[in-house]
Copies of this chain bind each other. A is one copy, B any other.
Amino acid sequence: MSAPLSLAVSTVIFALRPHPGTRRPALWIPLVRRIREPHRGLWALPGGPLAPEEGLAASAARNLRETTRLAPQYLEQLYAFGGPDRSPEEAQRTVSVVYWALVRPEEAEAGADGVNVRWFVADELPDLAFDHSLIVEYALWRLRNKVEYSRIAAAFLGETFTLAELRAVHEAVLQRSLDPANFRRQMEASGRLVATEGFRTGGRHRPARLYRHDRSIHLADNGPLTGQ
């Protein structure tokens, strides 16, 4: 007897790629062009209805994979949006459970633009369908907060990386430069980094030690919900 109401799962997917203007690393997100009303022609977050036997996070991972051919390095629930005025009057009311995900640049390359998929610089988006502009804004806020007190930045990098590379991730996300000496000490003091025997050579300078992350520690502490 309940009114028509559909439940969808959408995902804000972040990758780091060079900004087309400055060539410095910047946050990008993939959007999907709507091919149906409402908001036909506008760009929207990838997503779709929840499958009957599927968990919410699994649904986010699946539609992420289907629209961008990517698998996330990090995936976390963002928020459930369900106001009765999210869609135009004539459309069915939809509650969206939104996730946010981080993917590696190699993966972002593999999942290049498709027919109705295009990557955009996250801070330079057009107007999006529904309330998706607000959703992206909130996801950016969460990412920028969380990168300061967790190690989610690791999700943008490969297995091993130099401190300069890790610092570049933080700088790109936070949009400000960080002191190399202090950044090094903070990371070393955090106890979340493990020094490897390897070095990155090739630059016109002293080689940099490669680090990896302590795999026994989760990327982010979500308390009792870890693993949900």
Contacts and interface: CB of A to CB of B under 8 A. Distances in A.
Interface of A: 2-3, 5-7, 49-50, 52-56, 77, 79-84, 93, 95, 97, 134, 137-138, 141-142, 145, 223-225, 228
Determine chain A's interface SS by DSSP, over half rule: mixed
A154 B79 CA distance: 25
A80 B77 contact: yes
A-B CB proximity, top 10 nearest: A3-B52, A141-B223, A56-B82, A80-B80, A137-B224, A138-B224, A80-B97, A55-B83, A138-B225, A53-B84
Contacts of A50: 5, 82, 95
A97 B82 contact: yes
A138 B225 CA distance: 7
Contacts of A145: 223
7 contacts: A2-B52, A3-B52, A50-B82, A56-B82, A82-B97, A134-B224, A138-B225
Contacts of A56: 80, 82-83, 95
A228 B80 CA distance: 11
Contacts of A5: 7, 50, 52
B97 A141 contact: no
Contacts of A54: 84
Given A7-B7, A77-B80, A134-B224, 13 more contacts: A2-B52, A52-B84, A54-B84, A56-B80, A56-B83, A79-B225, A80-B80, A82-B97, A83-B228, A95-B97, A138-B225, A141-B223, A142-B223
Nearest to A3: B52
Contact of A93 (B6, B52, B81, B95): B52
A53 to B, nearest CB: 5
A97 to B, nearest CB: 5
Nearest to A95: B7
A20 to B, nearest CB: 25
A223 to B, nearest CB: 4
Given A7-B95, A97-B95, A224-B137, A79 B77 contact: yes
B55 A84 contact: yes
